[in-house]
Amino acid sequence: MNILLETKDLTKRFGGIIANRDISLTIEAGKTTGLIGPNGSGKTTFINQVSGVLPSTAGKTYFQGNDITTLSANRIARLGIGRTFQKIQLFERLSVIENVLVARRHFYKANVVDIVLNTRRNRREEQAQRDYAMTLLKRFGLESEASNQPSALPYGKRRALEIARALALEPKLILLDEPAAGMAIEEYSGILSIMEQLKEEGITMLLVEHTMEFIRRVVDWVYVLNFGEVISQGGFRDVEKDDAVIKAYLGGDEAL
């Protein structure tokens, strides 16, 4: 097993409130791992810890065998961990293509002098990065929107743009926080298709999602959180029959 990311006893406290307690999980390279649980179970907090948005109170996070627990979000992104957010976060004053290009800045080979003097090398580099960004936009059906503002996009396309921007980092791991939340049926189908394509390409993903059909079709392994603790893990068919999981979601004995 090729472990890409591992957490050991990862804990987050907000004052006297324990949001996550001793979460230990592994994410295998080339696989899609699901993270599910009732509202308020600590899923987004966990993603924020792993991505450096929130500092962990205790425990460790390892990426490709290296301790990244105390690194900033920017450094973690540069190491190859991309992410989306539960509430879409786009640069509203930038165009659609500029939102993607922001994630490409650390791939630029032109130096400061090239940029200031706008040398031929800089112009070539700018064009190469725009071509790369446009290829991503085409993949997500956004090429005709390249010069528009994100605010002009319908909800599903805004979500697709956020995923495209995360992929522009060429991440080794992408963290997806409820990518299908709030979508109409036709938008949901589009995002599900994108997730299935990424899975087929072997892109490693950690997926937080409430829609069980989404989880069933995409993930290889599932972790279930409740009150900030892992209460179950396994394949989806096993997890959905776990009495502890059924109780956490429904408070009873019905199947998910």
State the Cα–Cα distance between residues 245 and 255, nearest whole angstrom.
9
Comparing 242 with 116, the larger pLDDT belongs to 242
- Residue in 159, 108, 99, 158 with CA at minimum distance from that of residue 134: 99
pLDDT in tens, 217-228: 999 999 999 999
Q: Is 50 exceeded by the pLDDT of residue 192?
A: yes
Whose tokens are 């006297």? That residue is: 16
Kindly report, residue by residue over 13-22, the tens digit of the pLDDT. Answer: 999 899 999 9
Which two structure tokens, joined as six digits, stand for 163? 């995923």
Q: How far is CA 27 from the centre of its chain?
A: 13
CA distance 124 to 36: 44
pLDDT category, 122, cuts 50, 70, 90? Answer: confident
Specify the pairing of strand 3-14 against strand 17-28: antiparallel
Q: What is the per-residue pLDDT across 134-189, written as a single tens digit (0 to 9) for each?
A: 999 999 999 999 999 999 999 999 999 999 999 999 999 999 999 888 788 778 88
CA distance 169 to 180: 21
Domain positions in the chain are 3-93+154-250, 96-148
Model confidence over 18-67: pLDDT tens digits? 999 999 999 999 999 999 999 899 999 999 999 999 999 999 999 999 99
pLDDT band at 252 (very low <50, low <70, confident <90, very high): very low
CATH 3.40.50.300 fits 3-93+154-250, yes or no: yes
Q: What is the DSSP string of the chain?
A: --EEEEEEEEEEEETTEEEEEEEEEEEETT-EEEEE-STTSSHHHHHHHHTTSS--SEEEEEETTEE-TT--HHHHHHHTEEE--SS----TTS-HHHHHHHTTGGG----HHHHHHT-HHHHHHHHHHHHHHHHHHHHTT-GGGTTS-GGGS-HHHHHHHHHHHHHTT--SEEEEE-TTTT--HHHHHHHHHHHHHHHHTT-EEEEE-S-HHHHHHH-SEEEEEETTEEEEEE-HHHHTT-HHHHHHHHSSS---
